[in-house]
């Protein structure tokens, strides 16, 4: 599948970078066509300005600086997010990327006289979130897992109506051992590759 991997972590040698490498390596080994976006390394600007917000209902051509992002989203059949969960949700960098790039005539359209938006990223048939949590699964469940809801519900609804969403999480990272992290790294890429079948 044509797979866009969107990675968000500011530290080059973080555990999340090892997760990213495992995921990308498995996808390439599985003969997927992969494009990697490293938002921090690319110095992506997550700031949605008042001027840009005023362009909310205009076509993407009014924001040419986001042309590569628009093209990537329209190109991919699978979208894989790799990021740490911070404060129960997505890092601001990744949330800003979604705010700015999932725009009118790209992710959705509001037809004249309609009262609901219509999805436009129907090319995306697989959606995978790969994330790490410092806290336990129980703590995250008690918090309502807002990050999981954002990816598997809000984002998914803008994709193909038959899009399958997968959640691949490592909980309790703060108390994990070197062995448990190594086991996760040895499996995470394969889990993502299986989700794209």
Structure confidence by residue, pLDDT tens digits, 86-128: 998 999 999 999 999 999 999 999 888 888 899 999 999 999 9
Mean pLDDT of 130-145: 82
Query: Are the beta carbons of 66 and 18 closer than 8 angstroms?
Result: no
The residues, any chain, with a CB within 8 Å of residue 4's CB and separated by 6 or more, are 34, 35, 37, 72, 73, 75, 76, 78, 79, 80
Query: Are the beta carbons of 150 and 37 closer than 8 angstroms?
Result: no
Can you give the pTM of this predicted structure?
A: 0.94
Residue 186 φ/ψ, nearest 5 degrees: -70, -20
Query: Are the beta carbons of 124 and 163 closer than 8 angstroms?
Result: yes
- CB count within 10 Å of CB 123 equals 16
Mean residue pLDDT across the chain = 94
Q: Structural domains in the chain? A: 2-195 (3.40.50.360)
């Amino acid at each position: 599948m044509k797979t866009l991997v969107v990675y968000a972590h500011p530290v080059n040698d973080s555990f999340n970078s090892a997760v990213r490498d495992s995921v990308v390596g498995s996808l390439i080994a599985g003969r997927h066509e992969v494009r990697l976006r490293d938002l921090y390394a690319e110095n992506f600007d997550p700031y949605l300005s008042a001027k840009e917000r005023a362009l909310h209902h205009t076509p993407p051509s009014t924001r040419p600086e986001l042309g590569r992002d628009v093209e990537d989203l329209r190109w991919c059949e699978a979208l894989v997010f790799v990021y740490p969960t911070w404060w129960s949700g997505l890092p601001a960098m990744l949330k800003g990327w979604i705010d700015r790039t999932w725009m009118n005539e790209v992710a959705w359209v509001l037809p004249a006289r309609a009262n609901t938006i219509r999805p436009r990223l129907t090319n995306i048939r697989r959606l995978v979130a790969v994330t790490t949590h410092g806290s336990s699964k129980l703590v995250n469940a008690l918090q309502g897992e807002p990050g999981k809801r954002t990816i598997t519900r809000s984002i998914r609804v803008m994709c193909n109506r038959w899009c399958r969403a997968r959640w691949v999480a490592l909980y309790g990272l703060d108390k994990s051992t070197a062995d448990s992290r190594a086991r996760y790294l040895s499996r995470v890429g394969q889990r993502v590759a299986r989700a794209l079948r």
